[in-house]
Amino acid sequence: MEEWLRFSVCYWHSFRGTGADPFGQATIKRNWDDGTETIENYKRRLEAAFEFFTKLGVKYWTFHDRDISPEGQTLEETNRNLDEMSDLALNLQRQTGVQLLWNTCNLFAHPRYSNGAATNPNAHVFAYAAAQVKKGLEIGQKLGAKNFVFWGGREGYSSLLNTDLNLEMSNMANFLRMALVYKKKIGFEGQLLIEPKPKEPTRHQYDYDAQTVMSFLRQFNLQNDFKLNIEPNHTTLAGHGYEHDVVMASTFGILGSIDANTGSPDLGWDTDQFPMDIRACTAVMLQVIRQGGVQPGGLNFDAKVRRESTNTKDLFIAHIAAMDSFARGLRNASKIVEDGIMARHLKERYISFESGFGLKICNGLTDLEECEEFIHQHGEPEMISGQQEHCEAIFNRYL
Ligand code: XLS
Ligand code: CA
Ligand code: CA
């Protein structure tokens, strides 16, 4: 059971305290947090977080570098802060047994990254971001991270009038290649993940959705070294259904982890809400079962309680109820797989490709002339129902 449901708490949303949220949403002030940018406050916050993970019984956590330690005046000072804070994190991990699902670098909040990090028109900023990722990989290795995430919140454009698309995207590929080389050099074994998102905070982001990132990776020959961290709230922001990118990425063998949250279908932005929709959780777990689990990834709750949910208890309820939703999703999905009714339906729909001329098409053994000849012999195809409503009704029986 546990490996199917490898839950992780996102430190950013639940614990980083009163710092300004890059999306302008308020972060609730908690009683362990005095709101200062001091190392003492960062330590208190981290200790509270591990107490929370332990009470919750969750086995994994995730963070951005800047969530756990303050930025200094220079890179040296910033890295010293990070060394000190990651020492504490390592101790807390050892004491509690909580492991790091992934860490990542915040390459989007600081004003230096306003015009992008890896895709910045200024080479100096590119170098800064690269130095930050170098440190991030070292910290990931130190804390035994199972994965390392790249989320390109500023990698995109606000106007095409001042943007060299080709240069920016090839720089982004070089940036990722440099990270890959360094990861291998230091022996960091975590899986590298890219998290797609179409927009917000940038108007257009290059990592638009799963299919876009897959073709980018192939274009630059990086497809064997990166997988995707899919966040369904980003998927819906890209105009797709909730589970679309999970299914898409998984179908092509590149689903690495899931930031298991949801948006508000009536709103058009990234609300990062806790996943409470059993239908959606069932659809995701169905795909997770089909691919045999997402390890070394997991289900990370990249979600925040609503601004109005001000009790510490709300933080517990949110995580517990979200875990329960996925547990129910897993149960439903496993029943769907066990019964095999939906799988039989799917197989039946494509039965014409299993033999005869259909099999020839599948195997790439025919051509346009032969298809024309086939039509001359067989005429108009029979109309076959897609039976969507029937499938929806069957699916509903499991919820
Ligand atoms: C923001 C993203 C971010 C990534 C990590 O929308 O979800 O939190 O998961 O940088
Ligand atoms: Ca996310
Ligand atoms: Ca998000």
SS (H, E, C) 147-206: EEEECCCCCEECCHHHCCHHHHHHHHHHHHHHHHHHHHHHCCCCEEEECCCCCCCCCEEC
What is d(CA 349, CA 388) in angstroms, rounded to the nearest whole number? Answer: 11
The answer to whether residue 345 is catalytic is no
User: Does ligand 1 lie within 6 Å of residue 197's CB atom?
Assistant: yes
For the chain, the domains span 7-339, 342-396
Q: Give the per-residue pLDDT at 3.
A: 83
Query: Model pTM?
Result: 0.95
pLDDT higher than threshold 70 for residue 389: yes
Ligand 3: centre distance to CA 104 (Å) = 14
Strands 255-259 and 204-205, by their bridges, are unpaired
DSSP state of 273: B
- CA–CA distances in Å: residue 67 to residues 23, 109, 246, 324: 15, 11, 27, 27
Structure tokens at 289: 């079962």
Q: Is the CATH code 3.20.20.150 the one for domain 7-339?
A: yes
Residue closest via CA to ligand 1's atom 3 equals 151
Residue type, 250: S
Lowest mean pLDDT among 35-44, 63-72, 390-399: 35-44
pLDDT higher than threshold 60 for residue 111: yes
Work out the angle at residue 254's Cα, subtended by the Cα atoms of residues 244 and 322, and round it to the nearest 5 degrees: 55
How does pLDDT run across 17-35, given as a tens digit for each residue? 533 344 545 556 677 888 7
Ligand 3: centre distance to CA 393 (Å) = 31
DSSP state of 296: T
Q: Report, in angstroms and rounded to the nearest whole number, the Rg of the chain calculated over CA atoms.
A: 23
User: Does ligand 1 lie within 6 Å of residue 243's CB atom?
Assistant: no
Nearest atom (ligand 1) to Cα of 149? 5
Alpha helices in the chain (DSSP H): 11-15, 39-56, 65-68, 75-96, 123-142, 165-186, 210-219, 232-237, 244-251, 278-290, 312-339, 341-349, 356-362, 368-378, 388-397
Ligand 2: centre distance to CA 123 (Å) = 27
Residue closest via CA to ligand 1's atom 10 equals 151
132-153 average pLDDT score:
98
Probe ligand 1: pick from 113, 133, 193, 195, max atoms within 8 Å of CB?
195
* Residue 46 pLDDT grade (very low, low, confident, very high; cuts 50, 70, 90): very high
